[in-house]
Amino acid sequence: MSRQQHTTTNLAVIGQRARVAARQLARASTGAKNGALLNIAAALKEREAEVLAANAQDYPDAKAAGLSPAWLDRLLLNPERLAGMADDVRNIAALPDPIGEEYDVRTLPNGLRLGRRRVPLGVIGAIYESRPNVTVDIASLCLKSGNAVILRGGSEALRSNTALARLVRDAIAAAGLPGDAVQFVEDTDRALVGQMLKMRDAIDLLIPRGGPDLIRRVAQEATMPVVTGGIGVCHAFVDQSAALQMAVDIANNSKVQRPTVCNALDTLLVHAKAAPTHLPEIAKAWLRAGVEIHADRRAMTILGPMEEPRIKPTTDDDWGREFLALVAAVKIVDSLDEAIAHIERYGSGHTEVIITEDYSNALRFLSDVDSAVVMVNASTRFTDGAEFGLGAEVAISTNKMHARGPMGLRELTSYKWTVMGAGQVRS
C-alpha cells in the first residue's frame, strides 16, 4: 500500500470514529465528562515519566533542526509545566457544563413551551504548531463541551503530542466515555493537512492555531467553517485627554508584557495635542524595555531629538503589521475620527483601546470601532479567555459569524429549539 493510500484511509477512518464518538459524547453526563477530565489531570502526574521521555526525544531533534529559542522554549516540557497543564484541566472540570443549558425559555400564547437548548457542535478539527500543551488544552475543552476532536500537531512535537494524546484517550476511556472522542493524527505527512481541510462532512469546525501562514492557508483552503483568528494587529489611541501615567502604563504593558502573542500592541496612535507631553514618556518606558519604535514623520519631530538608535522612521508596511516582537509603530493623528479611520483601514478586527478621560470619546470609540474587543483605559493584553472569565480559550476569533473574540466552552456549542406541546396544531 502506498503512503498516499495509507494516509487517505487513515483520515477517513478517523473521521468516522470521531462522528460515532461525538454522538456518544453529546449524551454524556456532566459527571462522566468531569471524571474524564480529572483522570487526565491525574495521569499528567502519574504518567509524567512517559511524557517527559517523549519530549526528551522531540527536543534535541528540534534543536538540531535549528528551531528558534522561543520555539524550543514552547516545545519544552518539565514536571512544573505538566503540573500547570493538570491545573488547567482541573479548572476546565470546575467550569459549568454548557451542554443542556436551556435558555430563552418562554411560553407562547398558544401554550407551547419554547426554549433553546445548548448542544455540542459535533466534531472539531484542530491544526496547530509546536506547543504540546495545546493537545491537552483543546482536547479538554472539546471534551467538556461534548465535542469530539481530531488533532493535528506540528512535526517537531510529534512524540510529545502522541504521548499526551494516548494519556488523554486512556483517561477518557477509564471514565467510561469513548477514547475516540480525542484522536491525534500520528503522521507528519504534510499532505494530511490538505486532506483534513477537505473533510467537510467529517469536521464541523476547524480551528487553526499557529503562525500567520498556517492560519491563512486554512482560511483559504478549508471547505468547512473555520475560526479565522489569531492574527492581531492591535491599536491603542492616546486621546488628547489621556492621563499621562495611565497612557504610559497601558502602552507599555500592551507592548512589552508578552510581545509574541496576538493581543500585544502593534500601532500606537497619539492625538497631536497629547503627543508633545505623552509620547516622550511612552517612548522612554518602551526604550527601557527594549522596544524598537517606528515613528511617523510627525512623531519623529517629537522623538527625533532623543537621538536613540532604536527610534526609526516608519515604512509603509508598518501600518497593519503584526510585529509579534518588541517593535511598535507610532503615528500622530489630529482627531478621534482619524484614529478610527486608521484602525478601520489597517486593523485586523482583534483588539483596540482608547486611552482617554473624555466621556464622549470613550463611548464613541466603543461604539464606532468594529473589532472583536474594544477597550477604554485597559491593556490590550486582557483579550484572553482566562482573563475574560471563560476559564480557557480554544482561539480568539476575528470572524463575525458564530463567535467573536476569545472562544471558550460556550463558543464550541450550537443549540436546538425545544418545543413542548399538549397537542397544539396550526390554524
Q: Which residues would be at the binding site for a copy of itself (CB under 8 A)?
A: 23, 26-27, 106, 108, 112, 114, 117, 119, 121-122, 204-205, 225, 243, 246, 249-250, 252-254, 257, 344, 362, 366-368, 370-379, 381-383, 387-389, 400-402, 404-406, 414-426
Between residues 134 and 353, which has the closer beta carbon with respect to a copy of itself? Answer: 353
Is the distance from CB of 262 to CB of 322 less than 8 angstroms? yes
> Based on CB atoms, which residue is closest to a copy of itself, 186 or 368?
368
* Whether 100 contacts 118, CB under 8 Å: yes
Minimum distance from residue 367 beta carbon to a copy of itself (Å):
7
> Which residue, 246 or 287, is less far from a copy of itself as judged by CB?
246
Instruction: Describe the crossing of helices 48-64 and 30-46 by its angle, rounded to 10 degrees.
Output: 70
Q: Which is nearer to a copy of itself, 133 or 351 (CB)?
A: 351
CB of 79 to a copy of itself, least distance (A): 25
The Cβ of residue 238 has, within 10 Å, a number of other Cβ atoms equal to 30
> Could you tell me the three cell numbers for 57?
526525544
Nearest Cα neighbor of 137 from 415, 412, 420 is 412
* AA letter at 191: A
Closest CA to 210 of 154, 248, 289: 154
Please count the residues of the chain. 427
CA–CA separation, 409 vs 396, rounded Å? 12
Phi, psi of 76 (to 5 degrees): -65, 130
Q: How far is the CB of 168 from a copy of itself (least distance, A)?
A: 24
Of the two residues 76 and 326, which places its CB atom closer to a copy of itself in the complex? 326
> Least distance (Å) from a copy of itself to the CB of residue 119?
7
In 3D, which of 26, 21, 10 has the Cα closest to residue 199? 10
CB of 102 vs a copy of itself, minimal distance in Å: 10
Q: Please report how close the Cβ of residue 117 comes to a copy of itself at its closest, in angstroms.
A: 8
Cell of 399: 470572524
Q: Which is nearer to a copy of itself, 190 or 416 (CB)?
A: 416
Of the chain, the end-to-end C-alpha distance in Å amounts to 62
In angstroms, what is the minimal distance from the CB of 188 to a copy of itself? 30
C-beta of 34 vs 263, nearer to a copy of itself: 263
Looking at beta carbons only, is 68 or 367 nearer to a copy of itself?
367
> Could you tell me the smallest distance in angstroms from the CB atom of residue 18 to a copy of itself?
15
Match 497619539 to its residue by C-alpha cell: 270
Q: Give yes or no for a contact between 380 and 409, defined as CB atoms under 8 angstroms apart.
A: no
The residue type at 102: E
**Please, which residue, 49 or 401, has the CB nearer to a copy of itself?**
401
Which H helix or E strand runs over 112? none
Q: In whole angstroms, how close is the CB of 13 to a copy of itself at the nearest point?
A: 20
How far apart CA 86 and CA 211 sit, in angstroms, is 26
